[in-house]
């Protein structure tokens, strides 16, 4: 089974807003933080069960610095 990472619209918007806020003071840092976040969540492609299960045992948590990202592992549908 091959995995692919799909960011929902809200997650993409959050990432953009984080980068834009940081860029107001330091554009280079904004790009670095964005790259780090994308790299961290991008590990899900190779390790889809990365991170401990949340209390609801549906979502998994990934920590990056002081932020926590939650993800849902769904089985891919064969086309």
The tokens 């990056």 sit on which residue?
64
Cβ atoms of 60 and 51 within 8 Å: the answer is: yes
Instruction: Say yes or no to pLDDT of 79 above 70.
Output: no
pLDDT of residue 21: 96
Instruction: Say yes or no to pLDDT of 78 above 60.
Output: no
Instruction: Say yes or no to pLDDT of 54 above 90.
Output: no
Sign, CA dihedral 41-46-47-49, equals positive
Separation CA 64–CA 68 (nearest Å): 6
Quote the tokens at residue 13: 């918007």
Average pLDDT score over residue span 12-24:
93
- What number of other Cβ atoms are within 10 A of residue 13's Cβ? 11
User: Please, what are the domains in the chain?
Assistant: 9-72 (3.30.2310.20)
Instruction: Say yes or no to pLDDT of 28 above 90.
Output: yes
Rounded to two decimals, the pTM is 0.69
């Amino acid at each position: 089974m091959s995995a692919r990472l799909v960011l929902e619209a809200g997650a993409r918007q959050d990432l953009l807003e984080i980068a834009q806020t940081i860029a107001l003071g330091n554009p280079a840092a904004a790009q670095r933080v964005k790259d780090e976040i994308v790299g961290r969540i991008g590990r899900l492609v190779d390790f889809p069960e990365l991170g401990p299960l949340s209390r609801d045992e549906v979502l998994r948590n990934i920590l990056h610095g002081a932020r926590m990202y939650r993800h849902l592992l769904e089985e891919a549908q064969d086309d």
